[in-house]
Amino acid sequence: MSLPIIAFFNNKGGVGKTSLVYHLAWMFADLGWRVLAADLDPQANLTAAFLDEDELENLWENSDHPKTIYGAIQPLVKGTGDIARPKPQTIDNRLALLAGDLTLSAFEEELSAQWPGSLGGNERAFRVLSALWRIMQCAGEEGDANLILADLGPNLGSINRAALISADYVVIPLSPDLYSLQGLRNLGPTFRKWRGEWKDRLDRKPRMDLELPAGAMLPLGYIVLQHGVRLDRPVKAYDKWINRIPGEYRASVLGKKDENVSINQDPYKLALLKHYRSLMPMAQEARKPMFHLKPADGAIGAHLQSARDAYQDFRALALAIAGKASLHESDEGSQPELPLL
């Protein structure tokens, strides 16, 4: 049985998607899931969040990059074999990383070329198009994971198409602005198109001993990030954008009629996450998630309260995602110690 994959995707950059995946990976691990964080963005920002500069240099210094996702793809690209066994990086007891690679962008052309070839039942085309899914599954098994969170780059290219047909579920991070609304208008039809095209290809697959992704791409909902807050409410400048998100999500992503639903009552809204301001740079300096910050890291006074708030926010979000995706197989484990006030 394959491991569930949740992809986090928006074709607009700068919404805080990678930081979101980083913190959710830690939170799911804290809550008892065994998590593989998969960096499918050629910019490899998620990898840089988990690993320091020395670790990155060691990861990428060999020209074959054997410990990254591109290293696992190389034999297939070079025509010397199928995918290589991936080597996930251990981050914590319940958390592993399938490291990203800037060289992954070189896979774009091959994926694009093989997409039409799969319509003719070409076996190599199916091996190429399913490579990201199969590598994530292998890496998850290697790390004894029971959940995979995938960070995708901000575009509608062939790498993200292969990544999305690998996903069982999709979460869309948004900013409360015009760009995110326009992004939703592009995403919805693209999701439906790619899902339908992959189903058509699966119906034409050749007889081969190879498991393929189902291409479910079920939308779990959206998360609004970095909204301005005043007295616990979005500031007026953001109101009109936030209030248009529920209808746009229904119309563009779900293909439903635009309904007059407020964002606070919208069941597809997974969370409204505030901007944590100075807490985020502090966490980046300490190389840990915001909700793991302690006084020794400089989190004192208001910062310590913010760290505690961040824990509750991300815990609620992780549980909301788990509920929507019917993920009920976490280990009970021990809960992390909350920052003391």
The pLDDT score that the predictor gives to residue 340 is 41
The pLDDT score that the predictor gives to residue 227 is 55
How many Å apart are CA 302 and CA 319, to the nearest integer? 26
pLDDT tier for residue 339 given thresholds of 50, 70 and 90: very low
pLDDT tens sequence across 109-148: 999 999 999 999 999 999 999 999 999 999 999 989 999 9
How many Å apart are CA 72 and CA 82, to the nearest integer? 9
Radius of gyration of the chain (CA): 20
pLDDT tens sequence across 171-186: 999 988 888 888 899 8
Q: Is the residue at 285 inside a domain?
A: yes
Least confident of 109-118, 232-241, 272-281, 294-303: 232-241
Average pLDDT of span 331-339: 49
**CB of 259 within 8 A of CB of 247?**
yes
Number of structural domains the chain divides into:
1
* DSSP tag of 226: E
Q: Is pLDDT at 256 greater than 50 in this prediction?
A: yes
The pLDDT score that the predictor gives to residue 257 is 78
The pLDDT score that the predictor gives to residue 155 is 92
Q: Is the residue at 329 inside a domain?
A: no
Q: Is the residue at 333 inside a domain?
A: no
pLDDT tier for residue 237 given thresholds of 50, 70 and 90: low
Strand pairing class (218-227; 269-274): parallel
Q: Is the residue at 88 inside a domain?
A: yes
Side chain identity, residue 103: T
| Structure tokens given for 269 | 């809204």
The pLDDT score that the predictor gives to residue 197 is 97
The pLDDT score that the predictor gives to residue 16 is 87
The pLDDT score that the predictor gives to residue 253 is 93
pLDDT tier for residue 231 given thresholds of 50, 70 and 90: very low
Sign for the CA dihedral angle at 186, 175, 3, 319 comes to: negative
Average pLDDT of span 310-332: 88
For 239, the domain range is: 5-324
Distances (CA, A) of 133 to 43, 206, 213: 19, 18, 7
Better-scored residue on pLDDT, 243 or 32:
32
Q: Is the residue at 313 inside a domain?
A: yes
pLDDT tens sequence across 285-304: 999 999 999 999 888 888 89
pLDDT tier for residue 64 given thresholds of 50, 70 and 90: confident
pLDDT tier for residue 12 given thresholds of 50, 70 and 90: confident
Place of tokens 């484990």: 333
Average pLDDT of span 152-181: 94
Q: Is the residue at 112 inside a domain?
A: yes
Task: Count helices and strands (H / E) in the chain.
Answer: 12, 10
CATH number of the CATH domain containing 291: 3.40.50.300
pLDDT tier for residue 331 given thresholds of 50, 70 and 90: low
Average pLDDT of span 331-338: 50
Q: Is the residue at 336 inside a domain?
A: no
Q: Is the residue at 124 inside a domain?
A: yes
